[in-house]
Structure 1
Amino acid sequence: MFIWQLFLSLLVAFAVNFVSAESFPEELRSDDPDVAKEQKAVYDLILKYQTALNSGDTKTILTLFSPESYSQWNNKPTDDTSEERRKRYKRLFGEEKFETDFQFDSIEVHGNMAFVRTHHERGATVVNIKTGYTSIDLNRELFVLQKINGEWLIRVYMFNTNPIQGEA
């Protein structure tokens, strides 16, 4: 009985690690297992942001930012407080619905700081809620994250619009 329990435990552990590794693109992973583990945590945080963006979830988005953080959007003032960010996202989600799929260009981790570059390979689909007009939003994003009390949080988020995506 003990051998079967051990075998099943090892099988489950392998399956969890396999699924976890598969969901994080190999080309982004460091050869250093400790760095790769942090890269995966950063990757997961950006995916949480993407999910919250696509579902119009301001509350979740606010939890992903550090207390001292900045959001810099095209043609908008910098949001440097949670209240300013809450108003910006609430207004945005009242006007538009998103279907964003971040393509990751790089994830760098240096100590308690991480830098993530993404782009929208096919463009994010944006639907104006009032008119129903659908457009394609081509952006490149830069996320600067900081690990605070063992948790990765967004410290700086900025993007620019550029129809040529993913080029250095």
Structure 2
Amino acid sequence: MKKILVITFSSLLSLMSYLTHAGNKNMNIEEVLSTYEQALNASDTSQIMQLYSKSPVFMPQHAPAQEGRTAIEGAYNYVFSNIKLNVKFTTYEIEVLGDTAWARTSSAGKTKVLANNAIIEEGNNELFVFKMENGEWKIHRYLFATTTPAK
């Protein structure tokens, strides 16, 4: 009986450790998403690039996929030279599968067009794919599509 109890207790500890670790992984992804939101709103390309993996792909709506860090950095610099974002992200789900994870989010807020100072409503659905690199979650693939089509 003692042997069964010890094995059961050991199994319970292993399960608790796994669940705690999985929860920490989700928390880290939530932190990455929060940092990304803050960097977008600050037009901070440098901070955003710290969140991306070594070989990322960014798939913005109405534009070709941007492959690699140099292309993605250029894309963000272009975006920030044309608009100023003020958005809030909502996370609906995060799924972790080993060293890969994904998150489904939406964002909503306002965009200021810098050329004419026009303010427009902004809204998107987003899909982030993450890769674990050196113990940290990094954005590996990012895709978004508007929820507020142009009028």
Interval of TM-score (by shorter of Structure 1 and Structure 2)? 0.7 to 0.9
Alignment of 1:14-93 (within 5 A): 32-93=19-80
Match of 1:156 among 138, 141, 147: 141
**Identity in percent:** 26
Report the Cα offset of residue 107 of structure 1.
1.0
What is the rounded CA distance, in whole Å, between the counterparts of 2:55 and 2:68 in structure 1?
7
Give TM-score, length-normalised by structure 2: 0.83
What is the rounded CA distance, in whole Å, between the counterparts of 2:50 and 2:21 in structure 1?
25
Match of 1:125 in 2: 110
What is the rounded CA distance, in whole Å, between the counterparts of 1:60 and 1:79 in structure 2?
18
Structural RMSD (CA) = 1.6
Report the Cα offset of residue 63 of structure 1.
1.2
Which amino acid letter does the alignment assign opposite residue 82 of structure 1?
R
Structure 2 unaligned regions, length at least 5: 1-17
Match of 1:112 in 2: 99
Report the Cα offset of residue 42 of structure 1.
0.5
What is the rounded CA distance, in whole Å, between the counterparts of 2:147 and 2:48 in structure 1?
24
Which amino acid letter does the alignment assign opposite residue 81 of structure 1?
G
Report the Cα offset of residue 155 of structure 1.
0.4
What is the rounded CA distance, in whole Å, between the counterparts of 1:148 and 1:84 in structure 2?
20
Moved more, 60-69 or 31-40: 31-40
Report the Cα offset of residue 124 of structure 1.
2.2
Match of 1:166 in 2: none
Q: How many residues align?
A: 132
Report the Cα offset of residue 153 of structure 1.
0.3
Mark the structure with the bigger radius of gyration: 2
SS at match of 2:39: helix
What is the rounded CA distance, in whole Å, between the counterparts of 1:114 and 1:81 in structure 2?
19
Match of 1:10 in 2: none
Which amino acid letter does the alignment assign opposite residue 27 of structure 2?
K
4+ aligned runs moved over 2 Å, structure 1: none
Residue 140 of structure 1 pairs with residue 125 of structure 2: yes
Structure 1 unaligned regions, length at least 5: 1-30, 164-168
Match of 2:11 in 1: none
